[in-house]
Amino acid sequence: MDALSFRDCAAWRAEGLPLSTSSNEACKLYDAILTQYATWRNIESIGGVEGCFSAIKVADPNFVMGHVMSTGLELVGTATSPRLNQRLASAVKKTVELANSQNITQRERLHVKAMEFFSHGNFPKACDTWEDILVDHPTDLLALKFAHDSYFYMGAQTQMRDSVARVLPYWKPHIPLSSYLKGLYSFGLLETHFYDQAEKEAMEGLALVPGDAWSVHSVAHIYEMKAEVDKGLKFMEGGEKDWKVSDMLASHNYWHWALYFIEKGQYEAALQIFDSEIFKRCKATGSMLDTVDASSLLSRLEMEGVFVKDRWRELLQVTLPHTEDHVTLFNDLHFLMVSLGAKETGASQRLLEGLQELAKTPGDNYQHELAGPIGVPMCQALMEYEGGNYAQTVELMYPLRYRIVKMGGSDAQRDVFNQLLIHAALKSENKRHQRLGRCLLVERDAMKPNSPLTDRLMQRAMALHD
| Judgement on whether residues 76 and 194 belong to the same structural domain of the protein | no
Distance from chain centroid for Cα 305:
27
Domain end residue (candidates: 202, 218, 245)? 245
Q: Does the residue 307 lie in any domain?
A: no
CATH assignment at residue 220: 1.25.40
Sort 123 into a burial class: Cβ within 10 Å, 0-12 / 13-18 / 19+: buried
Residues found in the chain: 466
Domain end residue (candidates: 245, 270, 300)? 245
Q: Does the residue 9 lie in any domain?
A: yes
Whether the CB-CB separation of 75 and 95 falls below 8 Å is answered with: no
| Judgement on whether residues 31 and 120 belong to the same structural domain of the protein | yes
| Judgement on whether residues 377 and 455 belong to the same structural domain of the protein | yes
Check residue 361 and give left, alpha or beta (phi > 0: left; psi -120 to 50: alpha). beta
| Judgement on whether residues 149 and 30 belong to the same structural domain of the protein | yes
Q: Does the residue 447 lie in any domain?
A: yes
| Judgement on whether residues 137 and 193 belong to the same structural domain of the protein | no
Q: Does the residue 462 lie in any domain?
A: yes
Check residue 349 and give left, alpha or beta (phi > 0: left; psi -120 to 50: alpha). alpha
Q: Does the residue 382 lie in any domain?
A: yes
Q: Rounded to two decimals, what is the model's pTM?
A: 0.96
| Judgement on whether residues 432 and 372 belong to the same structural domain of the protein | yes
Whether the CB-CB separation of 229 and 257 falls below 8 Å is answered with: no
Containing H/E element for 384? helix 376-386
The predicted structure's pLDDT at residue 5: 87
| Judgement on whether residues 233 and 338 belong to the same structural domain of the protein | no
Domains held by the chain: number: 3
Residues of the chain with pLDDT under 70: 1-4, 465-466
Check residue 448 and give left, alpha or beta (phi > 0: left; psi -120 to 50: alpha). beta
Domain end residue (candidates: 245, 265, 285)? 245
Tally DSSP H helices, then E strands, for the chain.
Answer: 26, 0
Calculate helix-pair angle for 431-447, 390-397, nearest 10 degrees: 50
| Judgement on whether residues 131 and 42 belong to the same structural domain of the protein | yes
Range of the domain at 47: 1-154
Q: Does the residue 423 lie in any domain?
A: yes
How confident is the model over 29-51, as pLDDT tens digits? 999 999 999 999 999 999 999 99
| Judgement on whether residues 7 and 149 belong to the same structural domain of the protein | yes
Q: Does the residue 419 lie in any domain?
A: yes
Amino acid at 18: P
Q: Does the residue 160 lie in any domain?
A: no
The predicted structure's pLDDT at residue 1: 39
| Judgement on whether residues 196 and 91 belong to the same structural domain of the protein | no
| Judgement on whether residues 148 and 6 belong to the same structural domain of the protein | yes
3 state SS of 60: coil
Compute, in degrees rounded to 10, the torsion defined by CA atoms 102, 104, 106, 107: -120
Name, in order, each residue with C-beta under 8 angstroms of 298's C-beta and a sequence gap of 6 or more.
Answer: 274, 308, 311, 312, 315, 337, 338, 341
| Judgement on whether residues 110 and 12 belong to the same structural domain of the protein | yes
